[in-house]
Chains A and B, each alone.
Chain A
Amino acid sequence: MNKKSAFRYISKKRRVKENRRFITGRGRFAADLKLSGMLHVAMVSSPFACAKIKSINVDQAIAVDGVHYVLTGAELAENISPLLSGLDLPDVKRLPLASGRARYAGEWVAAVVADTRHIAEDAAELVMVDYDMLDFVIDPEIAMKPDAPLVHPEKGDNIFFDKQWVWGDVDGDFSKAPHSLSLRARWSRCSTIPIETFAVTASWDDGREMLDIWASVQMPKYPEQIARALKLPASSVNVHFDVDVGGSYGLKRGIRQTVIVSYLTRKLRRPVRFIEDRIENMAGGEMHGPDRIFDMEVAYDDDGIMHSLKITATDDCGCYPGRAPLQLGKPVSAIVGPYRIKSAQYHARSVSTNKTSQEAVRGFGQAPTNFAIETVVDRIAKEMGIGREEIRRRNLIKSHEFPWRIPSGSEYDSGDYHTVLDKLMESANWDQLVTKRDVIRKQGKLAGIGLSTCLEPSGGNSSFEPLFNPKNNTTTWMESCLIKIDMLGGVSAMMGTSSSGQGHETLLAVSIGEVLERDPDTIRAIHADSVTALPSNSPVGSRMAIMLGGAAAGAAKKIKAQLLKIAAHNFQLPEDRLIYDGGDIFVDGDRERHLTWEQLVDIAHRQYHNMPIGTEPGLQAQHTWEVPTGGAMPADDGTVQMYPCYAFEAHVPLVSIDPDTGQVEICDYYIGHDCGTVINPDIVRGMTFGGIAHGIGAALYEKFQYDDSGQLQAGTFMDYLIPSSHEIPSVGMIKHFTPSPLTEFGQKGSGESGYLGAPAAIASAVNDALEPLGKSIETLPMRVRDIEALLNGNVETKIG
């Protein structure tokens, strides 16, 4: 499967199909849609970290000219089913609008519907909510204490999830190892906030009994969740997946927003739209990511070889447990990173606090975990006086050892980590970087080189669902593709999900083009509506290259098989005497005897008399693919095969730091990258550069800071700092291709690439810079003020 060396279209430079509409301003984003009679929503938000909602008076708001309705949490709660939780927590109910109690500053308590968004905002100011302030908790470690204020009093404590797994002889390995060390690493609440906020329009058609939805969404099983909440059959919810989504990176879940507008359109019989403004988006929406404290312990020997790893991850989930707690689950799939560690213990705790709920973010918890593991590896290097590259070389799994099973049960498919590292070191020229670093140091600045070697588990299996919630027995996470060849020979391919910049249309066209040997530029890729779509699990978990690519190839192969069958029938020859070439079929050894693509298509569509007896007329095929290696429930000890494919990346940045101001500048940046066979090189480059930029943001700039009164202090783009073109350097990317044996073309995922190793690498570089001063930081983001305080906290005056 993976030995194909020469692809026709795969891995070749090719313009990304979707770009044409974006460069001419013809993208179709959710906010671009205009329906006649459409009404607009603005939210009323709670200003308090925790408060009882005593009453809501909407009289003044309703009286405003142009206002149609004010929906309160209480009314909505009465009419819908609570939203799904990722965990088994019957006492914790999540509703789109708070009812009875508001649990974080910014939580939506009412929705105002008006002719324009302006009027809706005017009226939202006039909704009078009578609150009683209640005790709240912001710090997750305080939240775990027995006397802490309760976020959900019905539940009795603030612990959403608390479980420890031991894989292998952890105690034995620790007691045998001559050395061990422990450290605490902190990943602060941040995320990959897209430039487009979440937007949704819903329109109820009473005649068809159909709810049409256009949303900027990236959420598995979204239509079904909307249907369930509204108590409608899923066939009455039609999500238009052809909406272009302006970035998501895991975040745009949109269930609450969609339930609100859907309820309203059914009630008011007018299309209703809600476009979050940036404040609704950042405080009340779904923009917050992992917020983790890692307590790490590692056992290692005199050579710096790691034998066992203990991780306690305490995650501040915020208020409600959507899918966020499951972000503690994905790291189980690569709990020991790319290293040959024999045993591992993982203690995962999800704690609720009075903060905005955490949601899924690119990498689904893997980037923080990678950062924590790499911090440990760097620390061993330092303790043992071994180079950071050398320590990794000694611990990395070797290329001949694949498939490699890690203690938590996942088998890594393939890899050649040492070669990637070799290539990276050659291109980055480590020695030259060291010289450059030392020159900067001589000039009076601090400077450091970073290194990280990390994995990107890809292929989006959902085994963490049953692992974290025994009542959930989901073991498939399939993806589908339908291919239709029209009567004129045109190829159309259909996926059942929306895209948010991943280039799925190009992926479909190239994968199908490769199998059918047809020019991908002539292949149309479309996003089906949910009622016509085949099962999809949306582009999460770095899975589409593998899963949608695999489904597309599977469907294309069925088409090809049909064509061969038709040709065999017409030539009255067995199929193995035929040669398929570019869509035409030739008789082996007699190229004069052939049927062209057009002729074959014509037979299928019009000439039933020339079809093999019993064949379906027309030319179409669908394929729904289960995740390779998936399909099993976790074993009792929690071991499970989680993801099928493992991409590898190694990062080397050089940073300089102004010791007086704490400002960090990234001078150079290199990444060695191996995601198996690359389907479109431009897309993989873009994903990687973008992921690195996200990682730099997480490492240096981005944080949803809360103050002591539970107020979000970084609720706009003035305060939540997304790096600009000035902060992000040009990156030198060095590629290596170790195909996966599990996938159609040998591809692995790259949707999270860059992000999974950049934070660790930047932290490594900053700490290398601080090392001569005997200092270090293990908390992200390493903001200017943190670095400066570490360096000069006790100094009175300095002169630059």
Chain B
Amino acid sequence: MKAAEFDYVKAKSLDEICLFLSQQAGEARIIAGGQTLVPLMAMRMARPNTLIDINDVEELKGIEITKKSVIIKACTRQSEVLESVDVRRSLPILSDALSHVGHTQTRNRGTVGGSLVNADPSAEISLIARLLDAEMTVHSVRGERVIKAANFFSSAMITNLDADECLTQVCFPIWSSVRTGFGFHETSIRASDYALASAAAQLSLDSSGQCRSISIVIGGATEIPTRISETEEQLMGSDLSDTEIKTAMEKIPEMLEPQADVHADADYRRRVACVLVGRALKDARERAKGSLV
């Protein structure tokens, strides 16, 4: 299980990354944490001509927190985000989700950006990005553009990034309302396995306890993290009672076309995804009400 031959360059700046990428037109690949790319290369399922190592590029590292958003630079380690007290305070759902990404040792190398670009259907970070409609900033020699999460993922393991582009940061918006709550649930076989299905929900309530804004997303059971807008719409303005939630979720199963693999079939993922949406919604509701911390 040894990688095929490749060339290696260590980039020192974002400009250099972009330059290398443009010169190598599709033959080069960025390596960040390597937690996905290295095993793929070991099995020779990926065989780039050149690896561009971005681990020394300081401008791609760091966490910035404002009232409105949490900005994470692409090459920031997952463990750094998970350990950040500020992130936990501002965006606890991200911390919660991150604790499910692999384990300590993979998080010590794996990056937030690498996970997003890798676009695994089960990836927790992608799920949260889609939930909050995070904004991905990408750079190339052609310039900079910002891609909303809704347009970032195109199918399993594929994003809408062009071959010469580098993801530089992701900006997760923070909802301002005080009565905001979130829920995150996933099911995996062993504790640190990829999720067979996952769901996240965030909602806020107005003073009368009615749902004023809501986002629901399913992962693992679809090729890319999927927003469940029909359910969201039905629940807007409701009291989020158990019955209302149940009714609003009725259409979910037919919307999902999960993939099957050795670990679970499509029916399993479909059913379990629904269960997890229900759990996530209820947790979100209780947190918004302040009755769950």
A residues neighboring B (CB under 8 Å): 117-118, 121-122, 125, 277-279, 660-663, 701, 705, 713-714, 716, 719, 721, 723-724, 726-727, 783-785, 788-789, 792-793, 795-800
- Asked if B263 and A785 make an inter-chain contact with CB atoms under 8 angstroms apart, the answer reads yes
Residue B27 is within 8 A (CB to CB) of chain A in the complex: no
User: Measured between C-beta atoms, what is the minimum distance from B195 to chain A in Å?
Assistant: 11
List the 10 shortest-distance A-B pairs measured between CB atoms, nearest first.
Answer: A799-B278, A726-B191, A800-B279, A277-B1, A660-B275, A800-B275, A713-B262, A118-B2, A800-B278, A661-B187
Give the total of B residues in contact with A, Cβ under 8 Å. Answer: 37
Q: A residues within 8 A CB of B271? A: 660, 788, 792, 795, 797-798
Known contacts A663-B187, A726-B190, A726-B191: does B278 contact A798 (CB below 8 Å)? yes
Residue B272 is within 8 A (CB to CB) of chain A in the complex: yes
B residues neighboring A (CB under 8 Å): 1-5, 43-44, 185, 187, 189-193, 196, 242, 245-246, 249-250, 252-253, 262-265, 267-268, 271-272, 274-279, 282
Known contacts A661-B272, A785-B264, A799-B274: does B2 contact A727 (CB below 8 Å)? no
- Asked if B190 and A701 make an inter-chain contact with CB atoms under 8 angstroms apart, the answer reads yes
Partner of B275, one of A701, A705, A726, A798: A798
Known: A278-B1, A799-B274. 4 other contacts (CB 8 A): A785-B265, A788-B272, A795-B271, A799-B279
User: What's the Cα separation between A784 and B268 when bound, in Å?
Assistant: 9
Task: Give the interface centre of B3, B189, B249, B265 by most chain A CB atoms within 10 Å.
Answer: B189
- Asked if A279 and B278 make an inter-chain contact with CB atoms under 8 angstroms apart, the answer reads no
User: What's the Cα separation between A723 and B191 when bound, in Å?
Assistant: 9
User: What's the Cα separation between A313 and B250 when bound, in Å?
Assistant: 46
- Asked if A797 and B193 make an inter-chain contact with CB atoms under 8 angstroms apart, the answer reads no
Q: A residues within 8 A CB of B190? A: 701, 721, 723-724, 726-727
User: What's the Cα separation between A788 and B196 when bound, in Å?
Assistant: 13
Nearest residue, chain B, Cβ from A723: B190
Q: B residues within 8 A CB of A701? A: 189-190
Q: A residues within 8 A CB of B187? A: 661, 663, 784
User: What's the Cα separation between A792 and B3 when bound, in Å?
Assistant: 43
User: What's the Cα separation between A275 and B272 when bound, in Å?
Assistant: 41
User: Measured between C-beta atoms, what is the minimum distance from A122 to chain B in Å?
Assistant: 7
- Asked if B191 and A784 make an inter-chain contact with CB atoms under 8 angstroms apart, the answer reads no
- Asked if A660 and B272 make an inter-chain contact with CB atoms under 8 angstroms apart, the answer reads yes
- 20 pairs across A/B with beta carbons < 8 Å? A118-B2, A121-B2, A122-B5, A125-B44, A279-B43, A705-B262, A719-B262, A721-B189, A724-B192, A727-B191, A784-B189, A784-B264, A785-B265, A793-B267, A798-B274, A798-B278, A799-B246, A799-B275, A800-B275, A800-B279
Partner of A721, one of B193, B276, B278: B193
User: What's the Cα separation between A798 and B272 when bound, in Å?
Assistant: 8
Q: B residues within 8 A CB of A705? A: 262
User: Measured between C-beta atoms, what is the minimum distance from A610 to chain B in Å?
Assistant: 64
User: What's the Cα separation between A784 and B267 when bound, in Å?
Assistant: 13
Partner of B245, one of A117, A726, A788, A799: A799
User: What's the Cα separation between A713 and B276 when bound, in Å?
Assistant: 27
- Asked if A788 and B268 make an inter-chain contact with CB atoms under 8 angstroms apart, the answer reads yes
Known contacts A784-B196, A797-B250, A799-B242: does B278 contact A724 (CB below 8 Å)? no
Known contacts A719-B262, A721-B193, A784-B264: does B249 contact A800 (CB below 8 Å)? no
User: What's the Cα separation between A122 and B6 when bound, in Å?
Assistant: 12
User: Measured between C-beta atoms, what is the minimum distance from A706 to chain B in Å?
Assistant: 10
- Asked if A797 and B249 make an inter-chain contact with CB atoms under 8 angstroms apart, the answer reads yes
Q: A residues within 8 A CB of B185? A: 800
User: What's the Cα separation between A662 and B265 when bound, in Å?
Assistant: 13
User: Measured between C-beta atoms, what is the minimum distance from B275 to chain A in Å?
Assistant: 4
User: Measured between C-beta atoms, what is the minimum distance from A47 to chain B in Å?
Assistant: 14
User: What's the Cα separation between A611 and B67 when bound, in Å?
Assistant: 94
Q: B residues within 8 A CB of A713? A: 262
User: What's the Cα separation between A640 and B4 when bound, in Å?
Assistant: 56
User: What's the Cα separation between A793 and B2 when bound, in Å?
Assistant: 42
Q: A residues within 8 A CB of B253? A: 796-797
User: What's the Cα separation between A121 and B193 when bound, in Å?
Assistant: 29
User: Measured between C-beta atoms, what is the minimum distance from A121 to chain B in Å?
Assistant: 5
Q: B residues within 8 A CB of A278? A: 1
User: What's the Cα separation between A727 and B272 when bound, in Å?
Assistant: 20
- Asked if B189 and A719 make an inter-chain contact with CB atoms under 8 angstroms apart, the answer reads no
Q: B residues within 8 A CB of A661? A: 187, 272, 275-276
Task: Give the interface centre of A705, A713, A727, A800 by most chain B CB atoms within 10 Å.
Answer: A800
Task: Give the interface centre of B2, B43, B193, B249 by most chain A CB atoms within 10 Å.
Answer: B2
Nearest residue, chain B, Cβ from A720: B262
User: What's the Cα separation between A724 and B253 when bound, in Å?
Assistant: 32
Nearest residue, chain A, Cβ from B280: A800
- Asked if A799 and B249 make an inter-chain contact with CB atoms under 8 angstroms apart, the answer reads yes
User: Measured between C-beta atoms, what is the minimum distance from A155 to chain B in Å?
Assistant: 31
Nearest residue, chain A, Cβ from B39: A718
- Asked if A800 and B276 make an inter-chain contact with CB atoms under 8 angstroms apart, the answer reads yes
Q: A residues within 8 A CB of B196? A: 784-785
Q: B residues within 8 A CB of A118? A: 2-3, 5
- Asked if B5 and A726 make an inter-chain contact with CB atoms under 8 angstroms apart, the answer reads no
Nearest residue, chain B, Cβ from A799: B278
Nearest residue, chain B, Cβ from A703: B262
- Asked if B268 and A785 make an inter-chain contact with CB atoms under 8 angstroms apart, the answer reads yes
User: What's the Cα separation between A16 and B190 when bound, in Å?
Assistant: 32
User: Measured between C-beta atoms, what is the minimum distance from A738 to chain B in Å?
Assistant: 37
Q: A residues within 8 A CB of B274? A: 797-799
Partner of A789, one of B263, B267, B282: B267
Q: A residues within 8 A CB of B262? A: 705, 713-714, 719
Q: A residues within 8 A CB of B191? A: 724, 726-727
Nearest residue, chain A, Cβ from B274: A797
Nearest residue, chain B, Cβ from A792: B271
User: What's the Cα separation between A690 and B277 when bound, in Å?
Assistant: 37
Q: B residues within 8 A CB of A788? A: 268, 271-272
Q: A residues within 8 A CB of B2? A: 117-118, 121
User: Measured between C-beta atoms, what is the minimum distance from B184 to chain A in Å?
Assistant: 13
Q: A residues within 8 A CB of B267? A: 789, 793
User: What's the Cα separation between A278 and B43 when bound, in Å?
Assistant: 10
User: What's the Cα separation between A122 and B187 when bound, in Å?
Assistant: 39
User: Measured between C-beta atoms, what is the minimum distance from A780 to chain B in Å?
Assistant: 15
Q: B residues within 8 A CB of A721? A: 189-190, 193
Q: B residues within 8 A CB of A279? A: 1, 43
Q: B residues within 8 A CB of A783? A: 189
User: Measured between C-beta atoms, what is the minimum distance from A781 to chain B in Å?
Assistant: 10
User: What's the Cα separation between A260 and B79 when bound, in Å?
Assistant: 45
User: What's the Cα separation between A117 and B1 when bound, in Å?
Assistant: 9
Q: B residues within 8 A CB of A785? A: 196, 263-265, 268
User: What's the Cα separation between A789 and B5 when bound, in Å?
Assistant: 45
Q: A residues within 8 A CB of B249? A: 797, 799
User: What's the Cα separation between A793 and B267 when bound, in Å?
Assistant: 8
Known contacts A784-B196, A798-B275: does B268 contact A789 (CB below 8 Å)? yes
Q: B residues within 8 A CB of A795? A: 271
User: Measured between C-beta atoms, what is the minimum distance from A189 to chain B in Å?
Assistant: 13
Nearest residue, chain B, Cβ from A121: B2
User: Measured between C-beta atoms, what is the minimum distance from B8 to chain A in Å?
Assistant: 15
- Asked if A726 and B192 make an inter-chain contact with CB atoms under 8 angstroms apart, the answer reads yes
User: Measured between C-beta atoms, what is the minimum distance from B84 to chain A in Å?
Assistant: 24
User: Measured between C-beta atoms, what is the minimum distance from A661 to chain B in Å?
Assistant: 4
User: What's the Cα separation between A121 and B272 when bound, in Å?
Assistant: 41
User: Measured between C-beta atoms, what is the minimum distance from A509 to chain B in Å?
Assistant: 37
User: What's the Cα separation between A719 and B194 when bound, in Å?
Assistant: 11
Q: A residues within 8 A CB of B189? A: 663, 701, 721, 783-784
User: Measured between C-beta atoms, what is the minimum distance from A197 to chain B in Å?
Assistant: 10
User: What's the Cα separation between A118 and B42 when bound, in Å?
Assistant: 10
User: Measured between C-beta atoms, what is the minimum distance from B112 to chain A in Å?
Assistant: 22
User: What's the Cα separation between A223 and B190 when bound, in Å?
Assistant: 40
Known contacts A726-B191, A784-B196: does B4 contact A122 (CB below 8 Å)? yes
User: What's the Cα separation between A354 and B44 when bound, in Å?
Assistant: 26
Q: B residues within 8 A CB of A799? A: 242, 245-246, 249, 274-275, 277-279
User: What's the Cα separation between A583 and B2 when bound, in Å?
Assistant: 56
User: Measured between C-beta atoms, what is the minimum distance from A437 to chain B in Å?
Assistant: 23
